[in-house]
Structure 1
Amino acid sequence: MPETSRRRLLFGTAAVSAGALLTACTSNDPKSEDTARSAGPAADNKPGKPVTIGFAGPQADHGWLNAINENAKSRAAEYSEVKLETTEGSNDTAAQIGQVKTLINKKVDVLVILPADGKALTQVGLEAMRAGIPVVNLDRIFASPQAYRCWVGGDNYGMGLNAGTYIGEQLKDKAGAKVVELAGIDNLELTKQRSQGFADALKNYSNIELVARQAADFTVESGQAKMAQLLQAQKRIDAVWNHDDDQGVGALRAIQQAGRDEFLMVGGAGAKSAMDAIKADNSVLKATVLYPPTMAASAIDLARALAQGKGVSGLAELEIPTSLTLYSAVVTKENIDQYLPTGFS
């Protein structure tokens, strides 16, 4: 949506609210104040005008990506007035561009897009916005802020920072502590951000050294192979941070096969398998740092609010924010019951 349009909507809504407030101040009707409060665009779950949301999600070839799709679909189903137009998930940028163009041609009210490649899909995001279709950009960010109205995603740097801080606190009294990192795909910006956050956290603990790092591919097989290499090379380990719970399944296999249990392990993302292991407390896996797929449900909520001219419940602003970064909570056996319902398969 162009900035001028946003200003018109903001000032127009503000004028309506100001008018309602003036009436409340001058009227003797005791209901006037309540009417003034309800005149604003606060979000709610009451059915509004019919809305068609186009959802261009990823190929569900990974537990977290599948959870993204399921969260979007289940949230949309909660609203009787929302119709969700979904595409067949794709990791091929050309195919996904074509899918988004189809949704634009269908004249959906709002688009929610998790791009296979944010930079590559920026142009089609711009195309949608210029066509008057607001875009909610999910997770992998477009190269231009003009290509989306709102971005919703996880905190990759914070994920690494919180994992490193948790490990640091567990090992702060251990002299010469040795830590290894099982990263994700190294050419992804998110992997670089997670590693940077982890490194920055460890700087606060002078007794801890990051002695080895291996990049895996977010798969069970790669996690097992790369963890086996780390175990073979490092005869002493005090903690492992693994960026992704899917590849963590393989990492745990390698650890069990090697008969190693002298260290603690922290996972990443929040898979149900990881949470089950943390709750059982029968392996080296003691915590996982969330990267919540519930962001897709939030994206649907925001898309609905955009289409219906609503704000966000609990906020004073008349319009939804331009960005929403989710918090990467550390899940341990102490708080596992709180987060277990969010675990994904």
Structure 2
Amino acid sequence: MTRNHRLLGLTAAAATTALLLSGCVSNEPPEEENDSDSMSADEGAAGGTANDEPGETITIGFSAPAADHGWMGAITRAALDEAEGYEDVELRQAEATNDVNMQISHIEQFINEGVDAIVLLPFDGDALTEIAIEAMEAGIPVVNVDREFSSPFAARATILGDNYGMGVSAGTYICEQLGGQSDAVVAEIQGIANLPLTQDRSEGFADALSDCGLSVSTQVSADFTIQGGETATSNLLQAEPEIDAIWNHDDDQGVGVLAAIDNAGRDEFFMVGGAGSLDVMEEIQSGDSVLQATVIYPSTQAADGIKMARLIAQSKNMSDLASAGVPRTTQLFAPVVTADNVDQYLEIGFRS
């Protein structure tokens, strides 16, 4: 992939994010411009933009996996906070679970209750596809978050992070730091190696490095846990006496990664994280860590799902689009956070 093609792809993803995160406004043109009509969309519900004004009360069912790591906990908190901001939204939260059968039964209950919309981050997208189709066939729009269903008929809208884009962003940053050092040793610490999301991240990383003449010298996998990150990194550091840069796919496991680095007394390299935890952002702010950057994988996806479900259930349109309705698929941008811009991302950071 050439640099120009990659930048075009990232620009398109950024534009999609901007459309989603800007306030939602009506497609009805104002009769005359006044202070209320020209109010910034960024003011959100408190600012009283047209789509954020209270409408018909709707009930949204929300289901997500257990909050067994920081990112997933942040996903649920953000969704609950978003729903709380709308007086016309009644949120019914299913018990968080990693049991596929239990999550299916929760969606069945939402269908039986006749909720107006469902926001679903499935523990397993394939396993939840059939029940999501049942909800759709019952006339209940489903907003699929993060882990995709295996059928396009299972969701009215899908909102995703950009795993491939994470790898591209991390690789591009490393290329910028290492310049023309074609012999640089670049290490990669994956999450769970056989997951499609991990493979997408690695593919994007390899493509970006290739664009500047670099490649991954050594690759280890952890399991998205602190202990797994520490073990994998200890093995990596023992195998590689000299490293120039490391990309760690996940900031939750990054706590263990940093512990292993500290224990080994190694600091000849710089490191890039992944996801955007507050812990990592504080490391970046400190200026005295090998951790120089992280790549955002938004923990606000389910909150965006709540906003989209509300728009769909109330037959409203997304702001800044000439077309009617809410897009079927929205993929969020994966920006790089460094000491230069960390302040603007602290608000969406999560604790590992």
Per the TM superposition, whether the score is higher than 0.5 is yes
Counterpart in the other structure of 1:7: none
Counterpart in the other structure of 2:23: none
Q: Is the 8 A contact 2:206 2:215 kept in 1?
A: no
For residue 193 of structure 2, the aligned residue among 186, 191, 195 is 186
TM-score by length of structure 2 reads 0.86
Give the deviation of 1:90 after TM superposition.
Answer: 1.0
Q: How does 1:152-301 map to 2 (within 5 A)?
A: 152-206=159-213, 208-301=214-307
RMSD: 1.8
Instruction: State the AA in 1 paired with 2:292.
Output: K
How far apart, CA to CA, are the structure 1 residues paired with 2:96 and 2:137?
A: 24
Give the deviation of 1:209 after TM superposition.
Answer: 3.4
Identity %: 51
For residue 107 of structure 2, the aligned residue among 91, 95, 100 is 100
Deviations 1:59-102 (A, max 9, x none): 00010000000010000000001000001111121111111111
Deviations 1:32-63 (A, max 9, x none): 999xx9xxxx9621000001000011100010
Counterpart in the other structure of 1:11: none
Counterpart in the other structure of 1:302: 308
Q: Is the 8 A contact 2:97 2:103 kept in 1?
A: yes
Q: Is the 8 A contact 1:220 1:250 kept in 2?
A: yes
How far apart, CA to CA, are the structure 2 residues paired with 1:231 and 1:132?
A: 54
Q: Which runs of 5+ in 2 are unaligned?
A: 1-26, 38-48
Q: Is the 8 A contact 1:43 1:313 kept in 2?
A: no
Alignment pair present for 1:71 and 2:73: no
Q: Which runs of 5+ in 1 are unaligned?
A: 1-16, 22-29
Runs of 4+ with >2 A deviation: 30-34
Q: Is the 8 A contact 2:61 2:110 kept in 1?
A: yes
How far apart, CA to CA, are the structure 2 residues paired with 1:67 and 1:321?
A: 24
Q: Is the 8 A contact 1:43 1:312 kept in 2?
A: no
Instruction: State the AA in 2 paired with 1:260.
Output: R
Instruction: State the AA in 2 paired with 1:252.
Output: L
- Classify 1:31/1:211 alpha carbon distance in 2 versus 1 (closer, same or farther; 3 Å): closer
- Classify 1:156/1:31 alpha carbon distance in 2 versus 1 (closer, same or farther; 3 Å): closer
- Classify 1:32/1:257 alpha carbon distance in 2 versus 1 (closer, same or farther; 3 Å): closer
Deviations 1:162-191 (A, max 9, x none): 101101111123351000100011221100
For residue 312 of structure 1, the aligned residue among 318, 321, 326 is 318
Counterpart in the other structure of 2:11: none
How far apart, CA to CA, are the structure 2 residues paired with 1:166 and 1:215?
A: 21
Give the deviation of 1:138 after TM superposition.
Answer: 0.3
Counterpart in the other structure of 2:93: 86
Q: Which has the larger radius of gyration?
A: 1
How far apart, CA to CA, are the structure 1 residues paired with 2:345 and 2:197?
A: 23
Using CA pairs under 8 Å that are at least 6 residues apart, name the structure with larger relative contact order, 1 or 2. 2
Counterpart in the other structure of 2:12: none
Instruction: State the AA in 1 paired with 2:73.
Output: N
Counterpart in the other structure of 2:121: 114
TM-score by length of structure 1 reads 0.87
